[in-house]
Amino acid sequence: MRWFSHRAAVAAASVLSIATQSQVAVAESVNGNAVVANGTSFALNGDNVSYIFHIDPATGDLISDHFGGSVTGAIPAAAEPIVNGWVGATGRIRREFPDQGRGDFRIPAVRIRQSAGYTISDLQYQSHTIVQGKPGLPGLPATFGSEEDVTTLVVHLHDNYSSVAADLSYSIFPKSDAIVRSVNITNLGEGNVTIDALSSLSVDLPYEELEMIYLRGDWAREAHRERRKVEYGVQGFGSSTGFSSHLHNPFLSLVHPSTTESQGEAWGFSLVYTGSFAVNVEKGSQGFTRALLGFNPSQLSWTLRPGETLTSPECVSVYSATGIGGMSRSLHRLYRKHLIKSKFATSDRPALLNSWEGLDASINASNVYQLAEESAKLGIKLLVMDDGWFGNEYPRDDDTAGLGDWQVNQAKFPDGLGTLVNNVTALKAANTSTPLRFGIWVEPEMVNPNSTLYHEHPDWALHAGDYPRSLSRNQLVLNVALSEVQEFIIDSMTRLLKSADISYVKWDHNRGIHEMPSPSTDHAYMLGLYHVFETLTSRFPDVLWEGCASGGGRFDPGVLQYFPQIWTSDDTDGGERVAIQMGTSLAYPPSAMGAHISAVPNQQSSRSVPVEFRGHVAMMGGSFGLELNPEELHEDEKAALPALIQLAEKVNPIVLEGDMWRLALPEETNWPAVLFISADGTKAVLFAFQMRANIDNSSPWVRLEGLDAKAEYRVDGGSVYTGQTLMSMGLQFVFEGDYQSRVVMLDRV
């Protein structure tokens, strides 16, 4: 069999296309050159990034030209595809929003099932609009910014055969080198259509060798970094748990094989979503690499009646020419300033003590108050009462009962919650006039069959007909897609927060979804959950909200929109936490991480790590605290705590607002190290660790990064060295034994 080359015909069309473009070219430049639209070609420009695509005038398809370092002026045209096999011209080019059918055999970004059953679409360019600033996404979390911060290009597409329209939205944050994409699909026809698959972002990178970096894990072992070659074919990951999950994070990085932490090109993609998701990377037969992030197609099947619209979550993409570290810092800066809505995004994270590992669910007014007194003596500023405080008909004495009944247990708290909170907030943190604050734990999306709520509303729990409602941790998930469930959660949390002076809420979530009434419930649940989060966080803006899902089961940008911090992992072993926190920092700012010192031997690993090491690791998270009962500590451990708390408070502003440099990775060395540099560059703090004793006693040098080469820095109040010296030569530390650590302050002189 032989194939005829279509090269000549296609080349002719392309000449025509240039002629057409130059006739219609009316260059619009918005916000400097953040968005340049030139008839049928579009460029989004950041300080160090350009993202360029154009419309093929023959097909109306959007063709990708470039996503990478800055490009200025005219650009060279890509070689025309040679069609010499089964793969049609559409399968041999780089496309912005690949649809199903018509010769592109790679994974499509959208699959729409029409009422007649067809799943082909032909979405063609119709028009575009440019908006200064960034419109919100209806019902979904989204990055935000002023008209100076961000500019948005919306490209309107239409399928004339099915009367389906799609709007692709591209927002550029030039200072962050970030492009944020989302898409909505509207049914303009007469019959129903069903969206079977929809990616928020699809990007085709040119023919070259690439590697992918992503996070995998499970409960208590989140955010382990994986890196592998992108092979021909499809490789992917995702979540079908109903939530973003511990198993994989909705984050992907693509890099060159030679890219390191500090050198080379890195693309980062981060999906602003808390539900099930899919990430696919496909190296097609032509060698292009396609990356898709969006809804998990196995949990979508979203029906659009005439006139209805489905909006995808948005996907952030950043580009860095300064390695994986540069990619992370761009995401961190963007998320601190343009994603986290809380007024505490970069401030006010009191050192806290959480009762969970210390008291378990066996709490009552007297032992919580006692714990508060002990905490205050150590210099703690916030006492958090964890699980066990609620339920009367079905008291929450263990995990078999009570979830759903959000009233304080009268036997455990005979004078009520308000009295306890008043007593606790009358205490002062040691040697200060700072009153102790009070925080509380809740798990509002859940119900135990042993609860008053479940007996009154068995239909509120997610279930699929008569299939058994399978328990996990003895509990069921409420169907937050139902408006009555949303109202119940909003009302019960409002009542709780008005009943006492509560300044912190830990919002937990301890299982995945099993029986789902329909695939589309997954996204309907998320829309309901975001409504609940939005209502409560705007009603109680002075509350510091912390997200949690059996640790980092929902450490995602969707949650961060509403909650400025998330409990990073139920694994509080300092040694394991180094890798978990550094893995999480690939996509998420350290300001967002909750990290605590717990007692030893550790509840998860049975390992005993020195208290200084546990403390030093914990203070690399924005929300530092203790997860223990001080009364049960060894004297020397207890004696070490006040100084560790003071050091944590000292470094906290740098961790909250500064840039993070991962100097050495725990998966690559026995001596991981991290540097934080304050936003104004005047202060820095270095964390250096030795994981295991090193019998030959050689002492590594830690070379710093990101300093001002010409500036001088005083190291721990002593010697002064130039930034150049600290970056070229470094500092040496002598460690003895397992799990040793140092925290070193640098002050610019």
Ligand X SMILES: *[C@@H]1O[C@H](CO)[C@@H](O)[C@H](O)[C@H]1NC(C)=O
Residue ranges binding ligand X (CB under 6 A): 21-22, 25, 27, 36, 38, 41, 47-48, 74, 124, 135, 138, 154, 160, 167, 169, 184, 186, 192, 303, 305, 309, 311, 321-322, 362, 364-367, 369, 378-379, 400-401, 415, 419-420, 423, 430-431, 449-450, 471, 474, 642
Measure the CA–CA gap between 638 and 624, rounded to whole angstroms. 16
List active site positions: 508, 570
Tell me whether residue 264 or residue 610 sits nearer to ligand X (CB atom): 264
Tell me whether residue 30 or residue 490 sits nearer to ligand X (CB atom): 30
399 in a known ligand binding site: no
Nearest-5° angle of CA 659, CA 248, CA 344?
40
Measure the CA–CA gap between 318 and 402, rounded to whole angstroms. 44
Burial class (CB in 10 A: 0-12, 13-18, 19+), 697: exposed
SS3 state at 15? helix
219 in a known ligand binding site: yes
SS3 state at 119? coil
DSSP codes, 539-592 = H-TTSEEEE-BTTBTT-SHHHHHH-SEEE--S---HHHHHHHHHHHTTTS-GGG
Measure the CA–CA gap between 18 and 26, rounded to whole angstroms. 14
Burial class (CB in 10 A: 0-12, 13-18, 19+), 540: middle
Tell me whether residue 25 or residue 734 sits nearer to ligand X (CB atom): 25
Tell me whether residue 158 or residue 283 sits nearer to ligand X (CB atom): 158
Beta-carbon count within 10 A of 668 CB? 9
Tell me whether residue 329 or residue 341 sits nearer to ligand X (CB atom): 329
- Taking the complex as a whole, the smallest distance from the CB of residue 607 to ligand X amounts, in Å, to 26
Judge whether 748 and 718 are in contact, CB under 8 Å.
Answer: no
Measure the CA–CA gap between 120 and 114, rounded to whole angstroms. 9
428 in a known ligand binding site: no
387 in a known ligand binding site: yes
- Taking the complex as a whole, the smallest distance from the CB of residue 400 to ligand X amounts, in Å, to 4
Measure the CA–CA gap between 551 and 220, rounded to whole angstroms. 7
- Taking the complex as a whole, the smallest distance from the CB of residue 282 to ligand X amounts, in Å, to 26
Tell me whether residue 157 or residue 566 sits nearer to ligand X (CB atom): 157
Judge whether 291 and 214 are in contact, CB under 8 Å.
Answer: no
- Taking the complex as a whole, the smallest distance from the CB of residue 380 to ligand X amounts, in Å, to 9
175 in a known ligand binding site: no
Tell me whether residue 177 or residue 546 sits nearer to ligand X (CB atom): 177
Q: Where is 319: in which H helix or E strand? A: strand 315-320
Q: Which amino acid is at 311?
A: T
> Which pair of tokens denotes residue 400?
């078999």
- Report the sign of the C-alpha dihedral through residues 699, 703, 704, 705, in that order: negative
Measure the CA–CA gap between 544 and 12, rounded to whole angstroms. 62
- Taking the complex as a whole, the smallest distance from the CB of residue 126 to ligand X amounts, in Å, to 7
Pairing of strands 593-598, 623-627: parallel
Phi, psi values for residue 38, rounded to 5°: -130, 80
Non-local (6+) Cβ contacts of 64 within 8 A are 52, 53, 94, 95, 96, 203, 204
- Taking the complex as a whole, the smallest distance from the CB of residue 588 to ligand X amounts, in Å, to 22
415 in a known ligand binding site: no
- Taking the complex as a whole, the smallest distance from the CB of residue 642 to ligand X amounts, in Å, to 3
560 φ/ψ sector (left φ>0, alpha ψ -120 to 50, else beta)? alpha
- Taking the complex as a whole, the smallest distance from the CB of residue 84 to ligand X amounts, in Å, to 27
DSSP codes, 50-65 = EEEEEE-TTT--EEEE
- Residue 366: name the closest of 378, 356, 374, 357 by CA: 374
- Print the SS3 string covering 257-299: CCCCCCCECEEEEEECCCCCEEEEEEECCCCCEEEEEEECHHH
Tell me whether residue 154 or residue 715 sits nearer to ligand X (CB atom): 154
For the chain, the residue count is 749
Tell me whether residue 41 or residue 286 sits nearer to ligand X (CB atom): 41
- Taking the complex as a whole, the smallest distance from the CB of residue 401 to ligand X amounts, in Å, to 5
DSSP codes, 593-648 = EEEEEE-SS-TTT-----HHHHHHHHTTSSEEEEES-GGGS-HHHHHHHHHHHHHH
- Taking the complex as a whole, the smallest distance from the CB of residue 100 to ligand X amounts, in Å, to 18
Measure the CA–CA gap between 461 and 480, rounded to whole angstroms. 9
- Taking the complex as a whole, the smallest distance from the CB of residue 141 to ligand X amounts, in Å, to 15
412 in a known ligand binding site: no
509 in a known ligand binding site: yes
Query: Where do the DSSP E strands lie in 656-700?
Result: 659-664, 673-677, 683-690
473 in a known ligand binding site: yes
Taking CA atoms, 58 is separated from 12, 14, 83, 488, 542, in Å, by: 11, 8, 16, 54, 55
The distance in angstroms from the start CA to the end CA of the chain is: 75
Q: Which amino acid is at 723?
A: G
Tell me whether residue 124 or residue 565 sits nearer to ligand X (CB atom): 124
Tell me whether residue 285 or residue 309 sits nearer to ligand X (CB atom): 309
Tell me whether residue 218 or residue 415 sits nearer to ligand X (CB atom): 415
SS3 state at 90? helix
- Taking the complex as a whole, the smallest distance from the CB of residue 64 to ligand X amounts, in Å, to 15
Taking CA atoms, 360 is separated from 366, 387, 447, 504, 547, in Å, by: 15, 7, 19, 19, 19
List, as residue ranges, the binding site for substrate.
219, 386-387, 473, 506-510, 548, 570
List, as residue ranges, the binding site.
219, 386-387, 473, 506-510, 548, 570
